[in-house]
Structure 1
Amino acid sequence: MTALIGLLLLGLLLSTAVPRLLARARWVEREPVLALLVWQCLVVAVLLCCALGLLLAASAAMPELRALVFTGAPHGVEAAYGLQDSEGWGRLSAAVLAAGALQTVLALTREVRAAKATRARRHAQLESRAPELPESIEAARGRRERLVVLESVRPEAWSLPGPDSRLVVTTGAMRQLTDRELAAVLSHERGHVRARHHWLQQFARALASGFPGVGVFREFRDQVEELVELAADDRAARRHGRHTTALALAELNLDRGVFGSCPPGLAQSPKRVDRLLAGRPRLTVPHRLRLTVVALCAPAAAVLLAVAPGLGSLL
C-alpha cells in the first residue's frame, strides 16, 4: 500500500504548498499562457493522484478487480503492491475517493449544462436584437466567428463561444473607439473564442463548486478567470500594439472596470491597463522551457509513483 499512501501524500502536497508558491510567483503576469499550462498540469496531477489512488484502493478492496488490473503482469508485480493484506484500508480509501470522483462528474455535468443553457439564451436574445446576415454574405467575410453589431449607446464588446461563435460589438463602441482600438478589442475577444477559454473556465468552475473547501480548486478558478484575460490582452497587443490595446480597454471600461465579456470584479481594468503600458519583457526561452518541464513533471510524478512498485519488482 506504499504506492497508495504515496499518491495521497503527493496529492496533498500538490494541492496545498504548490498553489501558494504559484500565487506569489512574479513571472505569472508576464507569461499568462505558460501560467495557465502550469495550473492545468498541477490540477491534472492532483486529479491523477486521486484517480490512481482510487484504482489501487479499489483493487485492494475487490479481489476480482485486482485480478483484472494485474492480468498479464509478470510474476511478482501484484505482490509488490501489497494489496492482498489491505482490504479494510482499501475499502475506506476507495469509498472516499469514489465519492470525490462522483462529485467531480456531477459538478462538471452541472457546469456544462448551465453554460450551454446560458449560451443558448444569450444567442436567442442576440438573434432577436440583431438578425443575422445571409450565410452567403457571412461566408465571404472569411471569418470563423460571425461579427454582430448591436444598436446601443453603451460601448461594449463581448464574445459568445461555442460551435456557432459570435463576436458582438455595439454601435456605441464603434463610435467611441478608433479603427485600431476597435480591431484590438475584437482581437481580444477572438482570442477567447479561438483558445477555447470557456472550456477551461467551465472546468475550473466545476471543480471549485464541487469542492468548495479545497483551496487548490478555488485558487485554480480565480487564477484562470484572470489569466485568460491577460492572455487575450497579449494577443491583441501583439497584433495592434500595447498602447492601442490599453487605450481601448480604458475607453470601454470607464464605468465597468472589465471587458464586456467578463463578469464584473474578476479582472480589474486599471491593473490590466498598467500591465499593458508597462510592457515588461517576456521570460527568456530557456526560462520558459524550464518552467514547462517542471510543470509537466507534476503529472508524470503521479504516474511514476503509481507504477514504481511494479517496476521495482522487475529490476
Structure 2
Amino acid sequence: MMVPLALLLLGGLVATLAPRVLTRADWPDREPVVALWVWQCAVSTVLLCCVLAMSLSAAAAWEAVRGHVFALAPSGVVEAYALASYRPWAAPLAVLLAFGAVWTGAMLTREIRLARARRRRRRAELLVRAPQLPGEAPGAGRLVVLEGERPDAWWLRGRTAPRLVVTTGALRRLSDSQLDAVLAHEQGHARARHHWLLHCSSALATGFPQVPVFAAFRDQVHHLVELAADDAASRRFGRLTTALALVELNEDRGVFGPCPTQLSQVPGRVHRLLEPAPRLTAARRLRLTAVAALVPAAPLLVTFVPGLSALR
C-alpha cells in the first residue's frame, strides 16, 4: 500500500474542501470560536499528512531512519508497509517534505521576530510619549493615556505589564462603558492567545503563497478573532455598547463611507452586533467541535491501518 501517497492525497483533499466548505457556510460568523477550532483542525490535518508522509518516505529511503520510525514495531509490521515498492521515489519526496517543514519553521520564526520588533518599537515610542514619572513602578497601571486628536486604542502585550493604550481623542468620544468594552475586547484577544493564531496563519500563508488553504486560513483567522473578541466584550457590556465603541473609534477613518478602506470589515462587525443572528444550538456546536477533532485522526488511521492489520 502506498501510504505516503494516500496521505498526500488525503491532505490535498482536506486542503481543497475545507476552504470551500467553511467560506460558504453561514454559521462561522455566528460561532467564531467554533469556526477557529474547525480551521485549526483542518490545517493541522494537512500538516500532519505531510509530516507522516515524510516520515514513511524517509523510512523507505534510508535504513537508519527506518530503524527509528519502526523501533518498537514487530518485524511483520515493517513488511506490511511494503517500503521497497516506493523506495525509488521515496528519497526525493522525503527531502522535499523535509524542506517544507524547515521552511515552515523559518517562516514562523521570522513572523515572531517581526512581531517582537514591532512590539519593542511601540514600547519605545510609548515611553517617549508617556515617560515614567518619578517613583512610578515600571509598567504600573493597565491604562496609558496619550495625547492625540485621533480616537485610537490598542492593547500592548507584555509578559509582566500588558496595558491598554488610549488617546485623549478616544476618551473624549467614548463613554466609560464603551471604554470598558474596548478593554474587554482587547483582553479577549489576550486571553485566547489570538496572537499565536495570527502568527501561525501568517507564517503559513507567507511561506506557501501558492497553497490556497493557507491563504484562506490567514484571512479567516484575522476576521474570526475580531468577531470572537467582539463577543467577549458584548457578553460583559452589551452588544449596543460594543457596537457604539467600534463606531466611535472608526468613524473618522472612512470605513463607513461610500468608498470604505481596508478596514471595511468594521461595518459588518457593527451590523452583526446590532442585529445578531441566532446562535447555533449547544448540541450542534458540540457536534461541529467533535467532528472537527476527528478530522486529524484520519491521517493517523491511514498511517497505522497497515501495521494494525499485520498484528491481527
What range is the shorter-chain TM-score in? over 0.9
| CA deviation profile, 1:195-251 (whole Å, cap 9, x unmatched) | 211111011100000000000000000000000100010011000000111111111
Q: What are the within-5 Å matches in structure 2 for residues 1-315 of structure 1? A: 1-132=1-132, 134-135=136-137, 138=140, 146-163=142-159, 164-256=161-253, 265=262, 268-315=265-312
Instruction: Quote the offset at 1:257 in angstroms.
Output: 5.9
Structure 1 residues 136 and 129 mapped into 2: Cα distance closer, same or farther (>3 Å)? closer
Q: Which runs of 4+ in 1 moved over 4 A?
A: none
Contact kept? 1:257, 1:268, Cα under 8 Å = no
TM-score (normalizing by structure 1): 0.92
- Structure 2 CA distance for aligned equivalents of residues 130 and 88 of structure 1: 64
- Structure 1 CA distance for aligned equivalents of residues 96 and 178 of structure 2: 52
Query: Which stretch shifts more, 106-115 or 217-226?
Result: 106-115
Aligned positions, number = 304
Instruction: Quote the offset at 1:75 in angstroms.
Output: 3.3
Structure 2 letter corresponding to 1:154: R
Structure 2 letter corresponding to 1:116: R
- Structure 1 CA distance for aligned equivalents of residues 118 and 264 of structure 2: 21
Query: Which stretch shifts more, 154-163 or 207-216?
Result: 154-163
Contact kept? 1:57, 1:94, Cα under 8 Å = yes
Contact kept? 2:243, 2:270, Cα under 8 Å = yes
- Structure 2 CA distance for aligned equivalents of residues 29 and 310 of structure 1: 42
Structure 1 letter corresponding to 2:70: F
- Structure 1 CA distance for aligned equivalents of residues 179 and 231 of structure 2: 15
| CA deviation profile, 1:87-121 (whole Å, cap 9, x unmatched) | 21211211221121121111111111111111111
Instruction: Quote the offset at 1:266 in angstroms.
Output: 5.2
- Percent pairwise identity: 57
Contact kept? 2:2, 2:86, Cα under 8 Å = no
5+ residue gaps in structure 2?
256-260
- Structure 1 CA distance for aligned equivalents of residues 209 and 185 of structure 2: 31
3-state DSSP class of the match of 1:224?
helix
- Structure 2 CA distance for aligned equivalents of residues 292 and 39 of structure 1: 11
Instruction: Quote the offset at 1:85 in angstroms.
Output: 3.3
- Structure 2 CA distance for aligned equivalents of residues 165 and 173 of structure 1: 19
Instruction: Quote the offset at 1:137 in angstroms.
Output: 9.3
